[in-house]
């Protein structure tokens, strides 16, 4: 039995809108209050309201009674029949459908194995990360256009010159500085010097893209942090790679992942149910949009 029911068992607030009278009488069951003999307020609704609003059961009951009294007055005065009120009621009812989907999603239990696997693939960097490597590189871009064939050997040769210029650099910053200086002598060749994102041995990077396999192979062929690669040819050009840092793996346990994924799983479940519900409702309801709707909407001022 809920705390609400335990506190209110056998008692009920009965409100008469017309007379303004409030009395306390036993109603039986789990009904905590009844307004005008028409609107019943059960303890389950009081408990839910108290939990959502974070108020005491007594305060929740007061709010619900006030809502019921207001609803009865609106009905008696005809406010409930006005177009603006009907519009608000429709919006509330539609929101109730969506809220119900969210509540069912939240009560669906922890992520399933399939949900855990799907999210682990997407969020692998945060929850299932293998060892990774950080690197910087200088690249002589693969020549394009009419002179590409002629410039290709020169591109490789210039990459070798860059490697010779940076080989003794003690830090990544020094290597990049020396490579940039050497790149000024590239003539028609394009040279880029970059610090790159961490990458896994299979080429994955945190932003969801991947590195060229040849570059990855060249980086992971280096034995120690600080090593410099031979010239590595990729689909982009000719690289000189410096191995900067090794990043350790990060693996969360199944329980840790499921706790982390809970809110996202609930949101996805609710979204899927909402999409299904809306699709079914649209298919079962006739909707007619006026041909003049666009011009009518253009005349509406908004955002002010």
Look at residues 139, 126, 130, 121 and name the one whose alpha carbon lies nearest to residue 196: 139
What secondary structure does DSSP assign to 144-160, as a single string?
-STTHHHHHHHHHHHHH
| CA distance linking residue 191 with residue 179, whole number of Å | 9
Q: What are phi and psi of 235, to 5 degrees?
A: -65, -15
Coil, strand, or helix at residue 125?
Answer: helix
| Ranges of CATH 3.10.50.40 domains, the chain | 131-248
Question: pLDDT tens-digit profile of 225-256?
Answer: 999 999 999 999 999 999 999 999 999 999 99
Look at residues 160, 176, 172 and name the one whose alpha carbon lies nearest to residue 134: 172
CATH architecture of 131-248: Roll (3.10)
Residue 24 predicted with pLDDT over 70: no
pLDDT at 29: 65
Please give the structure tokens belonging to residue 182.
Answer: 């050497």
Residue 4 predicted with pLDDT over 70: no
Residue 5 predicted with pLDDT over 60: no
């Amino acid at each position: 039995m809920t705390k609400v029911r335990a506190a209110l068992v056998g008692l009920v607030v009965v409100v008469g809108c017309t007379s303004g009278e409030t009395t306390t009488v036993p109603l039986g069951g789990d009904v905590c209050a009844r307004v005008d003999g028409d609107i019943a307020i059960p303890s389950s609704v009081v408990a839910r309201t108290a939990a959502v609003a974070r108020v005491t059961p007594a305060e929740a009951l007061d709010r619900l009674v006030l809502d019921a009294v207001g609803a009865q007055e609106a009905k008696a005065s005809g406010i409930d029949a006005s177009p603006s009120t009907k519009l608000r009621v429709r919006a509330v009812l539609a929101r109730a459908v969506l809220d119900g989907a969210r509540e069912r999603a939240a009560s669906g239990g922890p992520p399933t194995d399939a949900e855990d696997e799907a999210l682990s693939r997407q969020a692998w960097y945060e929850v299932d990360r293998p060892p990774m490597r950080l690197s910087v590189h200088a690249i002589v871009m693969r020549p394009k256009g009419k002179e590409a064939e002629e410039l290709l050997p020169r591109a490789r040769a210039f990459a070798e010159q860059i490697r010779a210029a940076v080989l003794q650099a003690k830090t990544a910053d020094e290597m990049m500085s020396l490579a940039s200086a050497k790149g000024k002598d590239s003539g028609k060749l394009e040279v880029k010097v970059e610090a790159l994102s961490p990458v896994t041995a299979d080429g994955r990077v945190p932003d969801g893209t991947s590195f060229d396999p040849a570059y990855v192979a060249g980086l992971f062929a280096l034995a120690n942090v600080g090593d410099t690669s031979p010239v590595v040819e990729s689909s982009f050009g000719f690289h000189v790679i410096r191995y900067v840092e090794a990043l350790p793996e990060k693996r969360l346990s199944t329980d840790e992942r499921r706790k982390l994924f809970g809110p996202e799983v609930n949101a996805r479940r609710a979204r899927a149910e909402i999409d299904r519900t809306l699709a079914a409702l649209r298919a079962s309801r006739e909707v007619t949009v006026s041909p003049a709707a666009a011009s009518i909407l253009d005349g509406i001022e908004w955002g002010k």
